[in-house]
Amino acid sequence: MASLKSLEYLDVSINNLSGLIPKGLGKLSFLKFLNISFNDIQGELQIERVFRNVNTISVIGNNKLCGGIPQLQLPTCFKAMRSRKSCASRLTITIVCVVTCTLLVSSFLVLYWRKKPKKKPSSEVSNIDLLPTISYKMLHQATNGFSLNNLIGSGSFGVVYRGVLEQDERLVAVKVLNLQTKGAPKSFIAECNVLRNIRHQNLVKILTCCSSINYNGDEFKALVEFMINGSLDMWLHPVVDSENQSKNLSFLQRLTIAMDVASALNYLHNHCEQKIIHCDLKPSNILLDNEMIAHVSDFGLARLLTTTNDSSQKHTKYGVGGEASAEGDVYNFGVLVLEMFTGRRPTNDMFRDGLNLHNFVKMALPKRLVQIVDPLLLLREAIEMGAATTKIMAKEEADNNDDNANEIEVEEADNNEEFMQIDANMQKFLLSIFNIGILCSMESPKERISMEEVIKEP
């Protein structure tokens, strides 16, 4: 190391190193910082170059060092020859210490084994939170070889599969990272770090992770999360002929999911030790459990909210361009709410030439409410309330066959007639929900309400 003439920073702390410090380190003119802490290095500390400044060197944890600059407060070096008497004294002290330590360790072991039978059997301890790092083979088996039939969706840095862990038959979501994507390894580390330190009922719970090699010899990284009912995207936009085609979220289910997501974002923004912004909120990143409770996932793009202006902290928001911010998460939530209750993606082909999902909803309210509500939602609610569904079903069929079904140009009289077909209470709730979606997705961040205000809305 002393021969590296251009060396600027050297950190070899906590490496169990021993012996003397190479004299050549004191001659390196470019060396700005040296950390040799917590080793077993001995001998006299130099006072040349990097060793002259207490702020450029760290030597703590090396009890055999001496000399150096006074600020380090190391003992004075003595070069006198050790006498035989001194050696004998040290040998005696060493033997006494070894014998004492042996007796202490033996006593501890005896006490430990005596108390052990009184403890509960280890089999009674729940292993839900103690699942070790899982192997690639186990994930391969759990997802049936990462079959397309188990594919849930794709996220920012990979794809998500449904899986069943054989050891306890738990349903899980396996998020496999695409390591060819720029930033994917950093995303893996970021997501682990974020989810390791946060706890909320509506944030996805990481069971374990896998960092291994697949059967092709390539690097493989995956996160294993609680699943367990697919993603919100699967329910809002079921693929034709898929097993979810017959599934349909009720009004109450959609409302509950929206409240779950709002609660999770409010926690991230306002109740974490350091504010966290998600940066990538969308239906495919919201997983539903057996009780249809929403869990926000995919923290690969998450950022700790700081005041830094570093360009590395910037990221494009979902829906509009701009820096990553809490207001960006609010915008994404507003778009999510509008998508949930209209059934239309913000990327729908109809949204062009200045028309977007926000304007589409805003222009239709209040009298054209029925024109923008998801037809599947109206159909389900009409059936559950025992209302007449013939006209709504006919409208849904017409919407599916007419290329211009998404246009809002409808006669006013017809609008009023269809508007009355929605239950009065449901009208009130839908208008309130759409209003929140509009307020959250305003173009100007200053005009958007906060997540704390969202959860307080009646």
- Is pLDDT at 402 greater than 60 in this prediction? no
- Identify whether residues 68 and 190 lie together within a single domain: no
pLDDT digits (tens, 9 = 90+) for 200-241: 888 877 767 787 888 888 888 887 876 667 788 888 887 654
pTM beyond 0.85: the answer is: no
- Identify whether residues 243 and 179 lie together within a single domain: no
Residue 104 lies in a domain: no
Residue 119 lies in a domain: no
What's the distance, CA 177 to chain centroid? 13
Residue 99 lies in a domain: no
Last residue in a domain, options 209, 228, 247: 228
pLDDT digits (tens, 9 = 90+) for 403-452: 444 444 433 434 444 444 567 788 888 999 999 999 999 989 999 999 99
Residue 193: give its domain's CATH number. Answer: 3.30.200.20
DSSP string, 84-125: HHHHHHHHHHHHHHHHHHHHHHHHHHHHHHHHGGGSPPGGGS
Q: Which residues, 6+ apart, have CB-to-CB distance to 381 below 8 Å?
A: 250, 251, 387, 422, 423, 426
- Identify whether residues 173 and 314 lie together within a single domain: no
How confident is the model at residue 339, as a pLDDT? 93
> Greater confidence, 386 or 370?
370
- Identify whether residues 331 and 183 lie together within a single domain: no
User: Percent of the chain scored above 90 by pLDDT?
Assistant: 10
Residue 14: give its domain's CATH number. Answer: 3.80.10.10
- Identify whether residues 161 and 73 lie together within a single domain: no
How confident is the model at residue 262, as a pLDDT? 93
Residue 106 lies in a domain: no
- Identify whether residues 237 and 222 lie together within a single domain: no
- Identify whether residues 366 and 392 lie together within a single domain: yes
pLDDT digits (tens, 9 = 90+) for 353-364: 888 899 899 988
Residue 167 lies in a domain: yes
- Identify whether residues 285 and 367 lie together within a single domain: yes
State how far the Cα of 294 lies from the Cα of 288, in Å rounded to an integer: 5
Structural domain of 378: 233-456
- Identify whether residues 179 and 321 lie together within a single domain: no
Residue 123 lies in a domain: no
- Identify whether residues 149 and 73 lie together within a single domain: no
The angle subtended at Cα 44 by Cα 42 and Cα 45, nearest 5°, is 100
- Is pLDDT at 275 greater than 70 in this prediction? yes
Tokens of 170: 């738990």
Positions annotated as catalytic residues are: 280
- Identify whether residues 222 and 245 lie together within a single domain: no
pLDDT digits (tens, 9 = 90+) for 14-51: 888 999 888 888 788 888 888 888 888 888 888 888 88
Supply the mean pLDDT for the chain: 75
- Identify whether residues 135 and 243 lie together within a single domain: no
Our count of domains for the chain comes to 3
Residue 31 lies in a domain: yes
